[in-house]
Amino acid sequence: MSQDPLIANLPHGVRSRKVSNVNGLEMHILEAGERGKPCVVLLHGFPELAYSWRACIGQLAEAGYYVIAPDQRGYGRTLGWEQGYDVDLQKFSLPNLVSDILTLLFRLKIDSVLSVVGHDFGSPVAGWCGLIRPDIFHSVVLMSAPFPGAPTPKSDRPGGVEINIGLTEMDPSRKHYQWYYSTREADSDMLDCQQGFRSFLRAYFFVKSGDNRKNDPHPLAAYSAEFLAQLPTYYVMQAGENMAETVEYGLPSGGDIASCTWLTEQDLDIYENEFTRTGLQGGLNWYRCGVSEIARDILQLFRKVVLKQPTLFIAGARDWGVFQSPGAYERMQTEICIDFKGTHLIDGAGHWVQQENPDRVNRLLLDFFAITSQRRL
């Protein structure tokens, strides 16, 4: 009997298991290190998995931490979430995603987390963990997606109706990717695309990575259709294209693939296998919550509540995600994170920073954990 590819590809010391009764889920986690050591929780984004932290989990554990990386609701080997498009979106809202992590910790009998680290869509989950339960999460690391805090009473979200009307009226007509991700057809567009799902994944990871030399991000002057249209087409798409068509130009050459050490063919096997089995809709439902303003009333209860814990931001210097929501990067540093320890934009890396340059990310995390640990003594 052949070995499970995911298990076979895990670094030495990283373990895979399921945790039952986690807010209605049977949650799959990767873990490493000794129970009782300071706990670190790693939260992935889209289209990622707990496996996306493969080059971080073991190194952090070797430094003396107990590290947990779950497949979050809608992803990977976590079971019990409602599949499909016609589901209760409240289950995929940020408050419930925080409840997933809190319940996981309860089941593991952990009442203190040295640091919660979130990448991409995992970044707002990490931010809300820290905002809602500062007594449990003693520091926060935000990666690739700035945390803007609680929403304002007037909607200014990326998928907002007003912005999308403005994008639609442009010549040529455009649309925001979060709006597109909220459509019924987005899942099948990517899974059943003409170039094949594996080729789509390879291209999607490439175009947002530092390997794509066309990525040269900069702050946008204002939150308007005019300035959002400066974003790459994988953020603000051509109106007549789906995401698979949008990134098809970015399929790297055979030589580029062979030299890509951060996303090997074995790594891609795992992403392809896991998402072919589950589909992408679970993760896409997270975006639908943002566009439809599900749980907005609950989140607004935390208006003007700030992160008082030590907070760090890490991203790739070639990551447009830092600036995709104009003003959020600056607001995070000056208004939301009171004990902000700095920003690190890693040269040569793009959006998948913990995969593209894990050694640098691990060093930054360990230095930050050391500061946080000293503060708690």
pTM: 0.96
Residue 251's pLDDT is 80
User: Is the CATH number 3.40.50.300 carried by domain 5-153+297-376?
Assistant: no
Euclidean distance between CA atoms 141 and 139, whole angstroms? 7
Write out the E strands in 11-165.
15-22, 25-32, 39-43, 66-70, 115-119, 140-143
Euclidean distance between CA atoms 221 and 140, whole angstroms? 28
Residue 320's pLDDT is 98
Sorted by where each begins, the domain ranges of the chain are: 5-153+297-376, 161-289
**What contacts 101, CB < 8 A, 6 or more positions away?**
41, 43, 70, 116, 125, 129
Residue 160's pLDDT is 64
DSSP 8-42: HHSPTT-EEEEEEEETTEEEEEEEES-TTSPEEEE
- Adjacent-strand bridge partners of 16: 30
Q: Is 223 left (phi over 0), alpha (psi -120 to 50) or beta?
A: beta
Euclidean distance between CA atoms 114 and 376, whole angstroms? 9
Phi, psi of 31 (to 5 degrees): -145, 160
Residue 154's pLDDT is 58
248-283 burial: b if 16+ Cβ within 10 Å, else e: bebbbeeeeeeebebbeeebbebbbebbeebbbbbb
* pLDDT digit string (tens) for the chain, length 377 residues: 578 999 999 999 999 999 999 999 999 999 999 999 999 999 999 999 999 999 999 999 999 999 999 999 999 999 999 999 999 999 999 999 999 999 999 999 999 999 999 999 999 999 999 999 999 999 999 999 999 999 876 554 554 667 888 999 999 999 999 999 999 999 999 999 999 999 999 999 999 999 999 999 999 999 899 999 999 999 999 999 999 999 998 788 888 888 899 999 999 999 999 999 999 999 999 999 988 878 888 898 898 899 999 999 999 999 999 999 999 999 999 999 999 999 999 999 999 999 999 999 999 999 999 998 876 65
Euclidean distance between CA atoms 72 and 89, whole angstroms? 15
Residue 161's pLDDT is 67
Euclidean distance between CA atoms 189 and 351, whole angstroms? 22
